[in-house]
Amino acid sequence: MLRGLSIKNFALIEQLQVSFDSGLITITGETGAGKSLLLGALGLLLGKRADLSSVKDNSQKCVIEGIFSIKKYDLASFFEEEELDYEDETIIRREILPSGKSRAFINDTPVTLQSLVSLGVKLIDIHSQHQTLEVATNDFQFKVLDALSDADREIDSYKRGLKFLKEKEKEVTILIANQENFTKEYDYNSFLLKELEEAKLKPNELSELEERYERLNNIEEIQERLSGSIAITSSEEIGVSDQLNTIKTNLSKIASYSGALKELSERIQSIYIELDDIQASLADQLDRLEADPRQLEEASQRLQLLHNLQVKHNTTSIEELITLKEELQEKVDKTESLSQDIEKLKQEISTIQTQLDEVAIRIHKKRNKALPQLVQELEDILKALGMTNASFKASLSLEEKYLKNGKESLEFLFSANKGGAYGELKKVASGGELSRIMIAIKAILSRYTQLPTIIFDEIDTGVSGEIAHKMADLMMGMSKNLQVFSITHLPQIAANGHSQYKVYKEDINNTTITQLKLLSKEERVREIAEMIGGKDISDSALTHAMALLKQS
């Protein structure tokens, strides 16, 4: 509930600070006194967009602050989601700066306008005549019916299931689209994969293959040069081996004469041993060489195959071709498994739909049971409000499609006159009738669910006499469960308020400002008397005013 309101530098309001209690709070004042300014300030506090034109003195900032008692509203989860500090007494502040920019705060933490709107709708329901069309909407009618049906758990379960169903349907849609795309490429991918599989690719194969090809392709030159090298080393008298042996013999004979000569003798000995080993290796390599046209052809063809694959797939190594083969294998496997995945998802969807259908039937039964009660309560309240012949025809029909709060369509028809044709509320009910229907619905809702603070903005326009008393009684009944504000011109309603505030204008220093004050008992008598008889208050008006206040 709204505990306190502070307004500074807004429109005709210079400085205003007021506290409110629970129950029915009535706000009265002459037309044009500024009652709409209060609603405008509250609108800004609850997230309405602001501009500099609503600031009284645009050289200073405008500040609107509300204190709300929210303990009963179960809003801890909202504060957690918004990462805000939760307080049972929550303060909302809105500032409009001289630059035209606005800022919003919840418990002194800056918030976005959207966060303010999200919290605002949970705290205050401002209801004016032009908002009565809401009662004609299917969503609102279901909201009222569900308050009586006690189907909250089933509806929450249905909504969770519907969300899950939509997620699964989205998944299967994506898979089917993927399947169509993959299927188009499947044959080509399979062909490429088969081609790479048949190539039996091996890492590092290319360098080994190129070496083998070069050896086989140049075998005659290799043989010739190996033979020549062996001849040079092993030729008698002039061969490198014999010459080196002569040097080795000469040095060995003089090695004992000095350390340097000994070192040279040892070095030539090492060279002689190394040359001997090289000579044996040359002979071994020559013995191994054998021309093999078949192996050469195989190596050539293999190299050509690998080269063609690299060019075809724009790769530079066998390893890249192996990676490509693995990717193609994954695509082919995925395409082949998509059908199974799609079928599995469709079975899951079918199971979810079966469960949703069961929940929807339970919701339908509870709503069907509550519907006659809603119609009866509405008609009873409307009769008390002077609509003696008002009647409703309401029915629920199960549909095939899944709607956001069930599988039903609700037909809610109205007739204001006995024997009159029934029709949709928005088509057959007048503005005044819609206003009374709305207040009747709010009265019903207040008994079955925790509503936020309600502000009725002249919803009683066009009402008088005994009907005004009945409307006042209705608001009084609602105020037992929630805080109710009524901006009213009716003395019957004003007198029934647990507290009454007056909006008025006064001139201070040649400036007109709007003020709001809580009326004392004596001031209430005079205010209500003025509402009854005008500015010139008669004794009968005073007597009538006192009688109204005693009745309340």
- What is the pLDDT of the chain when averaged over all its residues? 87
3-state secondary structure of 481: coil
| Residue 331, burial from CB neighbour count under 10 angstroms (0-12, 13-18, 19+) | middle
Residues of the chain with pLDDT > 70, as a percent, come to: 98
At residue 497 the predicted structure's pLDDT band, cuts being 50, 70 and 90, is very high
pLDDT of residue 103: 93
pLDDT of residue 236: 65
Residue 468: which residues within 8 A CB-CB, separation 6 or more? 460, 490, 491, 492, 493
pLDDT of residue 33: 73
At residue 49 the predicted structure's pLDDT band, cuts being 50, 70 and 90, is confident
By mean pLDDT, which of 95-99, 291-295, 539-543 is the weakest? 291-295
DSSP state of 420: P
β partners of residue 93: 65, 105
pLDDT tens digits for 398-447?
999 999 989 999 999 999 988 888 998 888 888 778 888 888 998 998 88
**Rounded (to 5) percent helix, strand, coil in the chain:** 60, 20, 20
Report which secondary-structure segment, H or E, holds 41.
helix 35-45
Q: How many whole angstroms separate alpha carbon 44 and alpha carbon 96?
A: 10
Q: How many whole angstroms separate alpha carbon 178 and alpha carbon 542?
A: 82
- Which pTM value belongs to this model? 0.68
At residue 334 the predicted structure's pLDDT band, cuts being 50, 70 and 90, is confident
By mean pLDDT, which of 18-27, 304-313, 369-378 is the weakest? 304-313
Closest CA to 334 of 175, 193, 168: 175
Q: What does each C-alpha distance from 258 to 170, 250, 266 come to in angstroms?
A: 96, 14, 13
By mean pLDDT, which of 329-333, 350-354, 500-504, 537-541 is the weakest? 329-333
Q: How many whole angstroms separate alpha carbon 52 and alpha carbon 56?
A: 9
3-state secondary structure of 389: coil
pLDDT of residue 74: 86
pLDDT of residue 502: 93
By mean pLDDT, which of 49-58, 137-146, 479-488, 534-543 is the weakest? 49-58
At residue 230 the predicted structure's pLDDT band, cuts being 50, 70 and 90, is confident
Q: Where are the beta strands (DSSP E) in 11-165?
A: 13-19, 24-28, 62-69, 89-96, 102-106, 109-111, 124-128
pLDDT of residue 131: 63
> If you write DSSP's letter for every residue of 326-351 in order, what string do you get?
HHHHHHHHHHHHHHHHHHHHHHHHHH
Q: What does each C-alpha distance from 374 to 132, 346, 367, 394 come to in angstroms?
A: 18, 40, 10, 9
3-state secondary structure of 127: strand
What value does the mean pLDDT take over residues 245-255? 84
Is the pLDDT reported for residue 392 higher than 90? yes
Residues of the chain with pLDDT > 90, as a percent, come to: 38
Is the pLDDT reported for residue 478 higher than 70? yes
pLDDT tens digits for 70-86?
988 889 999 999 999 99
C-alpha neighbours within 13 Å on the C-beta side of residue 430:
8
